[in-house]
Amino acid sequence: MLATRYVPAPFKARRHLAALTLLGAALAMLPGCGSNDRSRFALAVIASADDTLQDGIDRPLARQLTRSAVAEGLVAFDEQGRVVPALADRWIVTDDGQSYIFRLRDGEWRDGDPLIAKSAKDALDAAIRAQRGRPLELDLATIDEIRVMAGRVIEVRLFRPMPYFLQLMAQPELGLLRGKQGDGPMTVERQGDVARFTPIEPSRLGLPEVPDWDLRVRQLEMTELPAARAVERFNEGEVDMVLGGRIQDFPLTSSVGILRGTIQLDPVIGLFGLQVARGSGFLGDPRNREALALAIDRPGLIAPFGVSGWTPSTRLVSPGLEGDLQTNGERWTDEPIEQRRATAAARVREWMDGADDGEARAAKVSIWLPAGPGSDVLFQRIASDFRTIGVSSERAKSFAEADLRLVDDVARFPRARWFLNRLSCAARRGLCDPEVDAIVAQAARVVDASQRSAVLGEAEARLTQANLFIPFGTPIRWSLVRGNVAGFAPNAYAWHPLMPLAWLPK
């Protein structure tokens, strides 16, 4: 049985967002707030009052960054989105692609107990159990069993081959805990609103000693702030980086001058559109839901933001993914927007005139968008599009009360399964189709890749026909990065771990 070392590079998303570089190379000569005090590096993570409303999908970014910094998994991501060794210093993949064998590094847990396969397996089992009822549980359903093979060797056996399985294992939720403590690579202390991260000397983790360690690394100070305050602190030179930017806050970047830093956009794929939250009234008819999708001028939605390279899409699953049989293509490609809107307006009029009591009904929807100036612009564009077909719109007062809810998620791995899992009933975002969920679950056990793609294509087709989600295109993720910062790179997962930022620039 031939086995190979497997450390894949990140996938190349076909739907790119070009990085917006506003700073010349000469800016690297200018001092940042971290250059005068090389012992610390300050960054802000954007917090939103709406984070808790979507907590059933992904944890807030600051919490995920903290988990990945203090609790490594078997593997991790580097700053470029590549899978690198963590608690496992090497691994092999069997020829059939259904067995991943990890060899743990020679070290100890933080409590002094040896890092052995049995304790690591127990920790991994616990991390997976913690995902019950969340979409990540569905992603992990490919795992058949986890077993101890030797003192420091674990095997993860899959029901069928899963490309990008290591990317899944590198997710922050799968950082391993022992007695509620992780095994680095950093420790964290909290002082008020500031979380201070300190790199752990490698020899304490069972790794080779690094000479002059204290002279090569620095502490990180992370603060979670509202977007406007985070950008303000960046402009004032109080932080070197801002992470976690989304479309609702993108207009705030207009205040970042050429002497302050660079706006970086991640080349991500994922879900960006409106989820239908309730199936009553106007939205009770799939044809009416399709009418809303027909009315959207997708390029026009993003035009006010001036984002170069953004590509619209009418598909639930990002086009061009490996394994896509292209049985589900873009919709309405041969119809100009005027024709689509005429079709949609006719459906709206038919519904409005079809009341049992003979009186005309009003077609009206409420839309939830996270707070922020970008959401204000986005809502105005959506509402304008809906008005062209006779549907009026209002901003929902809360996530719970909305008829339509914005979904804005970056794909954790580039496969149709991720997209369908995030639109499943487990996601708890709105209307869903249990029969589609059953089809996707069935696909997890299909070994043949082409057959599995066909099953997932059927699931996408059924969900498309139901019109439970109105796609816009790819998500937007942005960061502010001062010109002299090392340890940061735009990547396809919009994931920027803390440890690479702790290395002092050479």
> Is 470 in contact with 457 (CB distance < 8 Å)?
no
Nearest-angstrom CA–CA distance, 175 and 128? 10
Nearest-angstrom CA–CA distance, 369 and 274? 9
- With CA atoms as reference, report the closest residue to 315 among 307, 323, 324, 306: 324
pLDDT over 90 at 483, yes or no: no
Q: What is the mean pLDDT of residues 331-358?
A: 91
Distance of CA 348 to the CA centre of its chain: 35
- With CA atoms as reference, report the closest residue to 304 among 380, 379, 377, 376: 377
Nearest-angstrom CA–CA distance, 499 and 506? 16
What confidence tens digit (pLDDT) does each residue in 75-88 have?
999 999 999 999 99
What confidence tens digit (pLDDT) does each residue in 5-23 have?
333 333 333 333 333 333 3
Residue 80: the pLDDT is 96
Residue 50: the pLDDT is 60
Count of CB atoms situated within 10 Å of the CB of 237? 14
Q: Which is it for strands 241-245 and 40-47: parallel, antiparallel or unpaired? A: parallel
The residues with which 274 forms a beta bridge, in sequence order, are 406, 470
Residue 40: the pLDDT is 83
For 220, the token pair is: 């990180």
In this chain, the answer to whether the domains covering 14-57+187-268+477-506 and 72-183 adopt an identical fold is no
Residue 21: the pLDDT is 31
Distance of CA 218 to the CA centre of its chain: 28
Q: What is the CATH superfamily name and number for domain 14-57+187-268+477-506?
A: Periplasmic binding protein-like II (3.40.190.10)
Sequence-distant (≥ 6) Cβ neighbours of residue 334 within 8 angstroms: none
What confidence tens digit (pLDDT) does each residue in 124-154 have?
999 999 999 888 999 999 999 999 998 999 9
Nearest-angstrom CA–CA distance, 475 and 271? 6
Query: If pLDDT is split at 50, 70 and 90, which confidence band does 33 have?
Result: very low
Per-residue DSSP letters for 446-492? --SHHHHHHHHHHHHHHHHHHT-EEE-B----EEEE-TT--S----T
What confidence tens digit (pLDDT) does each residue in 430-465 have?
999 999 999 999 998 888 989 999 999 999 999 999
Q: Which is it for strands 262-265 and 478-481: parallel, antiparallel or unpaired? A: antiparallel
Query: If pLDDT is split at 50, 70 and 90, which confidence band does 260 have?
Result: low
Token pair 């790179």: residue:
489
Residue 258: the pLDDT is 54
Residue 2: the pLDDT is 35
pLDDT over 50 at 238, yes or no: yes
Residue 256: the pLDDT is 82
For 269, the token pair is: 């794929």
Range 270-471 classified under CATH 3.10.105.10: yes
Q: What is the mean pLDDT of residues 313-341?
A: 93
The residue extents of the domains of the chain are 14-57+187-268+477-506, 72-183, 270-471
Among 3.40.50.150, 3.90.76.10, 3.30.450.40, 3.90.870.30, name the CATH number for the domain at 72-183: 3.90.76.10
Q: CA-based Rg of the chain, rounded to a whole angstrom?
A: 24
